Structure 1
Amino acid sequence: MRIIILRLFTCIALLCASLSSAMAVEKTTPDVIQKAARQFLDRFTEDARAKGQTVTYTLGTLDSRIRLAPCPSGPDISFSSDPMRSTQPTLEVQCNDKRPWRLFLSATVSIQGDGLIAARTLTRGARVTADMIEAKPIVLNDVRRGPITDPQTLIGMEVRRSVNAGTVFTADIVTEPDAVTRGDHVIIVARSGPVEVESRGKALANAHVGEQVMVENLHSSRTLRATVTGPGRVEVLM
C-alpha cells in the first residue's frame, strides 16, 4: 500500500512539473521580446544599409520577472516615433492574439549617413545651387528637425536666413522661392469648366505656388484675386 501511495505521489509530482514546464513555455518572457526586438532592428539596419546608411543600436532592458500571455503569432514590433528624429526612439511591442498585450522597450539607435552642409556662408534670400552644397558623414537622427539628404530637393530653394559654412541643411533653413514677385508680368488664366482664356497681368505682391495673390489685368485694368499655379502663371475661376 505504501509503495502504491509513493508511486501516486511521484506521478502527481511529475504531472505538476510537466504542467508547470508547459505553462512556462507558453508565457512570453523578456528573452522572447528582446529577441523579436533585435530581429526588427536587424531588418531596419539592413534596409538602411541599402540606402548607404550605417545603423548601430543598443536595446534597453526589461524586468526579468515579466511573464506575459502567450503570443503564438509572435510579437509585433514598431517604432513609436520617427527614428530619424531621435537617437533614443522607443519600440512598441504588442501581441494581437486572443490575450493581447502591449509594452514599450527603450533603445539607442544611431543612423549614420551623408548629410548636406553649406559649402560656404550663405546670405538670406540666396538661391541654393550645386556648388553651395557639400556631402558630409553625420549622425542623421542627431540633427534637430531632420537633415535634407537629397541634393535635388535642395537645389533651387531659397535660404530663409544667413547660415555659416558647415551648417547642416534642414527643412527650416530653406523655403520654396516665390513663384511670382511684386511687379512681375504674369499670365492670367481665366477658367470656366473646359474653357480657358489667357491675358496678361501684373502681380501686386509676392506669392508661392498654391497661394492667392492680387493681380492687375493689364488689358482691363481690373484687380483680381488669383491663385498662383506656377512661375509667372496665375489662375482665376470664373
Structure 2
Amino acid sequence: MRTTILVATLLMTGSPLLQGAESTAAQIEHAAGLFLDDFASQQADRGFEVSHKTGPLDSRLALAACNTPLAVSFSGDPWKTTQPTLEVSCSGERPWRMFLGASVTITGDGMVAARALTRGERITGGMIKAESVTVNATRRGVITDPEQLIGMEMRRGINAGTMMTPNLLTAPAAVARGDHVIITARRGSFAVNSRGKAMADAAVGDQVLIENLSSSRTVKARVTAPGQVEIPM
C-alpha cells in the first residue's frame, strides 16, 4: 500500500538560521502527523482502529525550509509491520527527501482457528471465527475475510486461536491422480475437446501431466477448473 498526502507549509519566526532548522522540523512533524491521522481516518471507515505516533527527528537534521507542501507516504506496507517508515519529501526550490520512523498499530477483526486444525483439513465456516487482533503484527498478513478461507486446505496443523495467515493454506486439488478430465485444446476462439487422465494431483492454475485417452500421448496442461484442463493448440 502506498498512500500520499500533501500538507500545508508552516512558517515560524526567529533568526534566519534557526528559522530554517525549526520550521523544517515543524513542517516534517506536522506533515507526518496529518498523514497518519488521514490514514487512521480512512481505515476507521473500513472498521479498523489505528493508533500511531512518529519517531523522534534526528537532532542533526539540516534541511532547507520547504516553500511548497510536503509529500508524505509509507515507504513500505503498513499492513505488514507495526514499525513502518515514512518518506517525507520537498519539491520546492531546494528539494530534499528524508525518512522518519513511526509506530502504527492497526486493530480489527481477523480470522482465527475456532479449534485445533490438522494438516490437510478443508476449512468450513465452523472451523474459523473472527477475533480482535493486531492486523499488522505479522509480515505474512492476517486474513480478515472468511471467504478467503472457506474451501482451502490446511498446509500444517495449528492450535485453536491461531491467526489465519496465507502461509498456512493451500488450494485444494481440483484434479486428482487418476481422475478423468476434459482436455480443451484452444487457439483464440476455436477449441477442441477430448478426454484424458490426470497423472498427478493439481490445483486450479497448476500445470499437470495428462494422458490423452484417444492418442495415449502424455501432454502438459493447465488446470482451469475441477475436472478440466487446457492446452494451447
Shorter-chain TM-score tier: 0.7 to 0.9
| Equivalent in the alignment of 2:174 | 179
Amino acid at match of 1:73: T
Identity %: 53
Displacement of 1:229 after TM fit? 1.4
Residue aligned with 2:214, SS: coil
Q: Does 1:111 align with 2:106?
A: yes
What are structure 1's unaligned runs of at least 5 residues?
A: 1-17
Distance in 2, matches of 1:83 and 1:225, equals 41
**What is the 5 A alignment of 1:61-80?**
61-63=56-58, 66-80=61-75
| Equivalent in the alignment of 1:218 | 213
Displacement of 1:178 after TM fit? 1.8
Structure with higher Rg: it is 1
Task: Report how many residues are paired.
Answer: 221
CA contact (8 A) 1:110 1:141 kept: yes
Displacement of 1:19 after TM fit? 9.8
CA contact (8 A) 2:67 2:93 kept: no
1:153 aligned residue (132, 141, 148): 148
Distance in 2, matches of 1:227 and 1:34, equals 53
Scaled by the length of structure 1, the TM-score of the pair is 0.85
Amino acid at match of 2:91: N
Please say which of residues 148-157 and 191-200 is displaced more in the overlay. Answer: 191-200
Amino acid at match of 2:97: R
| Equivalent in the alignment of 2:97 | 102
What are structure 2's unaligned runs of at least 5 residues?
A: 1-12
| Equivalent in the alignment of 1:14 | none
Scaled by the length of structure 2, the TM-score of the pair is 0.87
1:1-37 deviation per Cα after TM superposition (whole angstroms, max 9, x unaligned): xxxxxxxxxxxxxxxxx99459836974212210111
| Equivalent in the alignment of 2:158 | 163
Go from structure 1 to structure 2 and tell me whether the alpha carbon gap of 1:21 and 1:64 turns closer, same or farther (over 3 Å shift): same
1:140 aligned residue (135, 144, 155): 135
Distance in 2, matches of 1:65 and 1:222, equals 71
Residue aligned with 2:166, SS: coil
Distance in 1, matches of 2:183 and 2:216, equals 13
| Equivalent in the alignment of 1:4 | none
Distance in 1, matches of 2:43 and 2:88, equals 21
2:24 aligned residue (19, 26, 29): 29
Please identify which structure carries the higher helix content. 1
Please say which of residues 199-208 and 185-194 is displaced more in the overlay. Answer: 185-194
CA contact (8 A) 2:21 2:63 kept: no
Instruction: Tell me how large the CA RMSD over aligned residues is.
Output: 2.2
Displacement of 1:95 after TM fit? 0.8
CA contact (8 A) 1:30 1:64 kept: no
| Equivalent in the alignment of 1:40 | 35
Distance in 2, matches of 1:102 and 1:192, equals 51
Amino acid at match of 1:124: R
Residue aligned with 1:196, SS: strand
| Equivalent in the alignment of 2:118 | 123
Displacement of 1:172 after TM fit? 0.2
Distance in 1, matches of 2:160 and 2:134, equals 18
